[in-house]
Structures are given as structure tokens and as C-alpha cells.
Amino acid sequence: MANIDNAISDALGLTKNIKEQILDPKPIIPRPQQAVVPAEERNEDIDSDYKYSRENFYNLIERGQDAITGILDLAKEQEHPRTYEVAGQLIKSVSDATDKLMDLQKKLKDVEEDTTQKGPSTVNNALFVGSTADLAKLIKGETSKKQ
């Protein structure tokens, strides 16, 4: 059993002694510096957060696809149920990441609608206080004046 786990770890690039290393150096989008942002800068922050999240999801999906390829090759070689189980879990994880990427699009759309969609600033309601007979006289009086 330990031999299979070692083979899976080797195929995925995992080691027993975890060391911090940069696997794929790509430009990192800087995180915003302030936690509370003025209203003017909010749209810029929304865009940068969206780009940062989107880039992370793409990286996770790409790495997951590479891991799936490796684990499927290993599963074909060893024909052990555990490797197929790990492959299935990786496929599910990558599928979840792609779903979250699509949810990110929807959330951005919702946020943009919230920022652009504001109700009227002034609401004028006309109110008539009186009986229906008074209202009828008022309407008749205005229509006769127009003719």
C-alpha cells in the first residue's frame, strides 16, 4: 500500500518532506493594499479582484489537468483501484474549479448591476384627499377646460 501511495505522490510531484518552491513562475497580480476602499476606487478594485480570481482559477484548472493526465497514466500502468479513485477525485476537483470560474462570471455581473443600477433619487407621489364625487367633478372640470 505504501508503494502505491509513493507512486501516486511521485506522479503528482509531491514529496514526503514538503518544501516551498515556485512551480510555475507567472506574473502575480498584486492584491489591493486597503481593506476599506473609497467609492471612487471600488470599480477598479472589483476589476482587479475579478482578474486575480480568474487567473487563480485558470492556474488551478491547468495544474489539475496536468495532474489528471499524470494520474491516469499511472492508473493504466498499475491498474490499482486506489489510483483510479484518486483520478476520479482530481477530475471532480477540476470540474468544481471550472464551475466556480463560471460562478465568478455571474457574481461579477451581479456586482456590476448593483453598482450601476440605482433607483430614482426623488420620488414624487401625488395624493388626492376627497370623495369620489369631488374627484369626478375635478376630472370633468379639467376636461371641459381643455375642450
pLDDT tens, the chain, 147 aa long: 667 777 777 777 776 555 555 566 566 666 656 555 565 667 787 888 888 999 999 999 999 999 999 999 999 998 889 999 999 999 999 999 999 999 998 988 888 777 666 666 677 777 778 888 888 888 888 655 555
State how far the Cα of 64 lies from the Cα of 28, in Å rounded to an integer: 19
Return the DSSP state at 31.
P
pLDDT at res. 94: 93
pLDDT at res. 113: 78
pLDDT at res. 144: 59
Number of Cβ atoms within 10 Å of the Cβ of 84: 16
pLDDT at res. 99: 93
Q: Write down the residue that cell numbers 473609497 correspond to.
A: 38
Query: 127 vs 124, 135, 138, 139, 142, CA distance in Å?
Result: 10, 11, 14, 14, 17
Number of domains in the chain: 1
**Where in the sequence is the domain holding 31, given as residue range(s)?**
2-146
Nearest partner of 12 among 93, 53, 76, 70, judged by Cα: 70
Angle, to 10 degrees, between the axis of helix 42-78 and the axis of helix 81-116?
170
pTM over 0.75: no
Is residue 75 within 8 Å of 84, Cβ to Cβ? yes
pLDDT at res. 16: 58
State how far the Cα of 62 lies from the Cα of 94, in Å rounded to an integer: 9
pLDDT at res. 112: 78
pLDDT at res. 69: 92
pLDDT at res. 89: 93
Angle, to 10 degrees, between the axis of helix 81-116 and the axis of helix 2-12?
40
